[in-house]
Amino acid sequence: MSNLIHDITGMARRAKKAARSLVTLSTEAKNNVLLHMATAIDEKREFIQAENKKDLTAGKEKGLSPAMLDRLELSDRVIESMMNGLHEVAMLPDPVGEVEKMVRRPNGLMVGRMRVPLGVIGMIYESRPNVTVDAAALCLKAGNAILLRGGSEAIHSNRALASVLQDALQSQGVTADAIQVIPVTDREAVNIMLNQEEYLDLIIPRGGEGLIRFVAETSRIPVLKHYKGVCHIYVDRDADLAKATPIIINSKAQRPGVCNALEGVLVHKEIAEEYLPTLTAELKLNNVRLLGCHESVRIVADITPAMDSDWGTEFLDLILCVKVVDDIEEAFAYIDQYGSQHTESIITENYSNAQRFLNEVDASAVMVNASTRFNDGGQLGLGTEIGISTTKLHAYGPMGLEELTTKKFIVYGQGQVRS
Amino acid sequence: MSNLIHDITGMARRAKKAARSLVTLSTEAKNNVLLHMATAIDEKREFIQAENKKDLTAGKEKGLSPAMLDRLELSDRVIESMMNGLHEVAMLPDPVGEVEKMVRRPNGLMVGRMRVPLGVIGMIYESRPNVTVDAAALCLKAGNAILLRGGSEAIHSNRALASVLQDALQSQGVTADAIQVIPVTDREAVNIMLNQEEYLDLIIPRGGEGLIRFVAETSRIPVLKHYKGVCHIYVDRDADLAKATPIIINSKAQRPGVCNALEGVLVHKEIAEEYLPTLTAELKLNNVRLLGCHESVRIVADITPAMDSDWGTEFLDLILCVKVVDDIEEAFAYIDQYGSQHTESIITENYSNAQRFLNEVDASAVMVNASTRFNDGGQLGLGTEIGISTTKLHAYGPMGLEELTTKKFIVYGQGQVRS
């Protein structure tokens, strides 16, 4: 067995042992640890930023883009935001121990379902070192141990943050093995991690589509993920166009580089002549470039004809596809073909079309008269999130604390046997 | 592309298309189909039993054991039981469309979670042809299409049942693609099925540990499964022994060949001298052979010393391991090491130990003063089950209709944008 396999297997084994002890940790104890972590990050700010500087310097030498360096930097603002995040997670209700659907069966057995932690979560992510703290906080609050493997660009930052978090755990009498960062960043470490089926219960990858596909194809452990967010808005014939435009602008332009940003607008043919010129003009004011179908180009000469490969593309940029559709059925078919089961929204004042859209569209969040940007754990009321799942097993949509737990059956008997 | 890949991919693609249409099928329509299937099975009884006869004849020629031939036979009793099963599933509440946790967010958005079908379920199973009907009924009621791949021993029976079910679907205006049996039984068909990630949402394997391990290791699609059931009962120092004995006898001897049957008893050292002789005598009356630790053998000479490999074995037979333990902590450690996260029960009148057992033991069902045989969907109140999961993602324990669905977020807006 190579040293690397030996080391990572040892970490995974210790994580599982730690998870066993977290099951019985009280909510109060977990909250104390979280608040203590926030204080520790504040106190160790200089150390953390000095280590972060090493990553930033190396990143500049490697020629990382300004956007990537920005994501890498643990500025005072980012540190405050990590501290706030820890406070917020401490304030969220603890899902562990909640008992649902307790009923008395005909034979007198009391049967219920108790929320329990999943066990050990493996997190694989790229450059943002604040994920280390955010993910560790959520996993700890849900009673899970976490094994983190960040990108090589952030290795000094991640190790520094882990050591601060581990000190905080130990100062509160909790094992440091509850939060561990794998100190090796080559791909082989990921391979070994994805084979720890005996010790890890769930893998959550966050990053580009390439990383996520690699993880999904390699892992022997269940993976919760989304590859990409190709989100659409369908502007129905009965849309209130005064609502449509601000929603489309917000969905596309407020933050174009994220997964719940808009990539395509479908417009009902009977309002296209009236609406497309207005929409195009408004989008232009927001520097959004439009790629469209033949019909849309006929109506607005400013729209660039789309290529086949544009439909269903996640641009993550100020580019938007526009297509004129015959009816809601064609919108459904388009979303089925090009959507990524992430977020789909309809703009309509028509009651039946609103209900049909909510019932029939298959996506982790389906909306009426609202911006796609609302598909986010904080916005939808989960408090915060560890990621968004577009696969349907276990969780569909943003994953908060509850999605980091499972339910076991508990049975109170008085001597019953089965007949 | 080989013909087999072409054929199975085509079936999977059609199943996905069928699933799309099942989403909007009313509960009434689904129930009508289920009741119609029961009638059709009754009417086509002769055809079904004639086809089943071909499998039985081939099975005898192949030298299948009497137990296997028994499982294969579609006797009148089994046919009645399939028909009753269809009626029962028709009577269960439909989980699809239920909206949970609808709240008004501070910005006025109404956010809830709607239960929706998973999509397409792939079922891989061995000899029992009645699984074809039971699984198809549950999947249909939950709005899912199903692709079934049964064992070669039952191929004529499965094809006959599928044709009867498909006729019933079509007579009610539902596409026959909602229930499809793969007509090829070699291993390659399973491999191809497990690669249909684009069309299948979930795989449920049922059968021996070998089949299940193969499926889990090969599948690119999420798998819900249990490898085996190694269930224990811990008889605490404060147990009511008058409850303990019938519970142990029931757990072990009522049906020893199933996954929720008992495989090990742990007895507190302070009651072992008193209790083990009684227990051994009672078990002997039920033809159960005991394998035990040194201490248990010292107390009761009738107990055969256990070998290391006996601990944690799923005997599926009238054999039971017995171990004397120092305290509840040692019981926890033993269950952690040898249990299979299936079913664990404590016999005690001690309030604190009962609560600790329920809270701390990691198994899909944990019980106090009750037989392990109760870990079953019907017994725990799910109505019926499609299998039991001992992995924690998505479902932990028996899986009924609700576990064949997922929840998507639905959002009712009035023009909100994100600030």
CA distance A414 to chain B (A): 5
CA distance B276 to chain A (A): 19
| Residue A418 placed within a domain | no
Task: Please check whether residues B237 and B219 belong to one and the same domain.
Answer: no
Q: Contact A266/A233 with Cβ under 8 angstroms?
A: yes
Residue of chain B nearest A393, judged by CA positions:
B394
pLDDT of residue A1: 62
The residue-averaged pLDDT of A98-121 equals 97
From CA A11, how far away is CA B324, in angstroms rounded? 33
| Residue B175 placed within a domain | yes
The residue-averaged pLDDT of B17-45 equals 97
Burial class, B33, CB count within 10 angstroms (exposed 0-12 / middle 13-18 / buried 19+): buried
Region of residue A383 (phi > 0: left; psi between -120 and 50: alpha; otherwise: beta): left
Task: Please check whether residues B273 and B309 belong to one and the same domain.
Answer: yes
From CA B374, how far away is CA A109, in angstroms rounded? 10
* Range name among B126-130, B150-154, B194-198 with the lowest pLDDT average: B126-130
Give the pair of three-digit tokens for residue A170: 């130990």
ipTM of the complex: 0.94
Q: Contact A244/A211 with Cβ under 8 angstroms?
A: no
Give the pair of three-digit tokens for residue A85: 């995040």
> Which residue has 């005898």 as its token pair?
B60
| Residue A326 placed within a domain | yes
Beta bridge partners of A290: A320
Contact between A374 and B118 using a beta-carbon 8 Å cutoff = no
Chain A contact present for B26, CB below 8 A: no
pLDDT of residue A89: 96
Contact residues on chain A for B222, CB-CB shorter than 8 A: 222, 391, 393
Selecting from A201, A362, A418 the residue whose C-beta is nearest the C-beta of B373 gives: A418
What's the CATH number where A199 sits? 3.40.605.10
> Which residue has 């562990």 as its token pair?
A96
Contact residues on chain A for B119, CB-CB shorter than 8 A: 362, 392
Selecting from B362, B407, B414 the residue whose C-beta is nearest the C-beta of A396 gives: B407
A32: confidence class by pLDDT, cuts 50, 70, 90: very high
Q: Contact B154/B119 with Cβ under 8 angstroms?
A: no
Residues 6+ apart with CB under 8 A from B12: B120, B147, B193, B196, B198, B199, B200
Which of helix, strand or coil describes residue A47?
helix
Pick the more confident residue, A244 or A208.
Answer: A244
Task: Check pLDDT > 80 for residue B132.
Answer: yes
Report which of B21, B16, B332 is spatially closest to residue B146, judged by C-alpha positions.
B16
> Which residue has 């470490």 as its token pair?
A189
Task: Check pLDDT > 90 for residue B195.
Answer: yes
Which of helix, strand or coil describes residue B135?
helix
pLDDT of residue B126: 86
The residue-averaged pLDDT of B280-285 equals 97
Task: Please check whether residues B215 and B278 belong to one and the same domain.
Answer: no
Task: Please check whether residues B10 and B147 belong to one and the same domain.
Answer: yes
Residues 6+ apart with CB under 8 A from B28: none
pLDDT of residue B1: 62
Q: What global pTM score does this model have?
A: 0.94
| Residue A385 placed within a domain | no
Report which of A142, A17, A418, A419 is spatially closest to residue B367, judged by C-alpha positions.
A418
The residue-averaged pLDDT of B233-251 equals 98
pLDDT of residue A127: 74
From CA B79, how far away is CA B130, in angstroms rounded? 8
The residue-averaged pLDDT of B39-44 equals 98
Task: Please check whether residues A304 and A402 belong to one and the same domain.
Answer: no
A160: confidence class by pLDDT, cuts 50, 70, 90: very high
Task: Check pLDDT > 70 for residue B3.
Answer: yes
Q: What is the side-by-side order of every strand in the sheet holding B304-305?
A: A99-104, A110-117, A405-416, B365-370, B343-347, B231-235, B262-268, B319-325, B289-292, B304-305
Domain with A15, as residue range(s), is 3-225+395-412
The residue-averaged pLDDT of A383-401 equals 94
Task: Please check whether residues A128 and A268 belong to one and the same domain.
Answer: no
Task: Please check whether residues B203 and B339 belong to one and the same domain.
Answer: no
Report which of A11, A12, A81 is spatially closest to residue A41, judged by C-alpha positions.
A81
| Residue A351 placed within a domain | yes
Task: Please check whether residues B26 and B158 belong to one and the same domain.
Answer: yes
Task: Check pLDDT > 90 for residue A8.
Answer: yes
B248: confidence class by pLDDT, cuts 50, 70, 90: very high
Selecting from A24, A103, A366 the residue whose C-beta is nearest the C-beta of B381 gives: A103
Q: For a pLDDT cut of 70, what percent of chain A falls above it?
A: 100
pLDDT of residue A2: 82
Task: Check pLDDT > 90 for residue B2.
Answer: no
pLDDT of residue A148: 97
Task: Check pLDDT > 90 for residue A67.
Answer: no
Beta bridge partners of A52: none
Task: Check pLDDT > 90 for residue A134.
Answer: yes
* Range name among B121-125, B181-185, B232-236 with the lowest pLDDT average: B181-185
The residue-averaged pLDDT of A122-138 equals 93
From CA A185, how far away is CA A127, in angstroms rounded? 12
What's the CATH number where A280 sits? 3.40.309.10
Q: What angle do CA B134, B13, A225 make, to 5 degrees?
A: 85
Residue of chain A nearest B113, judged by CA positions:
A365
pLDDT of residue B201: 95
Q: Contact A404/A139 with Cβ under 8 angstroms?
A: yes
| Residue A417 placed within a domain | no
pLDDT of residue B220: 86
Count up the domains in chain A and report the number: 2
From CA A159, how far away is CA A132, in angstroms rounded? 9
Task: Please check whether residues B400 and B336 belong to one and the same domain.
Answer: no
A220: confidence class by pLDDT, cuts 50, 70, 90: confident
> Which residue has 């086509």 as its token pair?
B44
Contact residues on chain A for B109, CB-CB shorter than 8 A: 370, 374
The residue-averaged pLDDT of B282-302 equals 97
pLDDT of residue A384: 87
Task: Please check whether residues B114 and B27 belong to one and the same domain.
Answer: yes
Contact residues on chain B for A114, CB-CB shorter than 8 A: 358-359
Contact residues on chain B for A24, CB-CB shorter than 8 A: 359-360
Task: Please check whether residues B216 and B329 belong to one and the same domain.
Answer: no
Please give the mean pLDDT across all residues of chain A: 96
| Residue B418 placed within a domain | no
Please give the mean pLDDT across all residues of chain B: 96
| Residue B388 placed within a domain | no
pLDDT of residue A174: 98
Contact residues on chain B for A418, CB-CB shorter than 8 A: 250, 254, 371, 373-374, 379
**DSSP output for A396-416:** -EEE-SGGGEEEEEEEEEEEE
Chain A contact present for B17, CB below 8 A: no
DSSP3 helix / strand / coil % (chain A, rounded to 5): 50, 20, 30
Task: Please check whether residues A170 and A197 belong to one and the same domain.
Answer: yes
